[in-house]
């Protein structure tokens, strides 16, 4: 049992608590920005794209740090990030199309 736990611990080096606190603080700031931009009248025109970008950034941070993607092969990150950008572009395009055609 101890050997299994030691093997698991060897696979994923423990991240420093400071790293996780910095990521948590960054997630908090991004969330605060999401809430704050909702109340700025000048940003109403670009509200949806801004919220999508901020949400995507938060999603990427959570996946890369808290779901331990950073411990996996760098190839997974290289595949994940462009696909996330593509997904965001598709959603923005669909929102723009719906806005134009549905008025």
Assess contact for 92 and 51: CB atoms under 8 A: no
Which residues fall within 8 angstroms of residue 81, CB to CB, at 6 or more apart?
60
Reading the block at residue 3, the tokens are 């050997």
Reading the block at residue 75, the tokens are 């190839």
Q: Is the pLDDT of residue 91 over 70?
A: yes
pTM of the model as a whole: 0.60
Reading the block at residue 58, the tokens are 């938060």
pLDDT tier at 13 (50, 70, 90 boundaries)? Answer: low
Q: Read off the pLDDT of residues 22-59 as tens digits, 9 standing for 90 and up.
A: 989 999 999 999 999 999 999 888 998 899 889 888 98
Round to whole Å and give the CA distance between 1 and 8: 11
Long-range contacts formed by 78-84: CB under 8 A, 24+ apart: 84/56, 84/59, 84/60
């Amino acid at each position: 049992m101890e050997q299994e736990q030691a093997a698991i611990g060897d696979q994923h080096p423990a991240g420093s608590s400071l790293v996780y606190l910095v990521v948590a603080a960054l997630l908090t700031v991004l969330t605060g920005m999401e809430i704050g931009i909702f109340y700025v009248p000048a940003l109403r025109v670009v509200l949806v794209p801004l919220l999508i970008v901020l949400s995507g950034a938060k999603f990427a941070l959570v996946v890369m740090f808290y779901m331990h993607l950073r411990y996996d092969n760098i190839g997974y990150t290289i595949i994940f990030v462009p696909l996330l950008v593509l997904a965001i572009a598709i959603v923005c395009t669909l929102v723009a199309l719906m806005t134009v055609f549905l008025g």
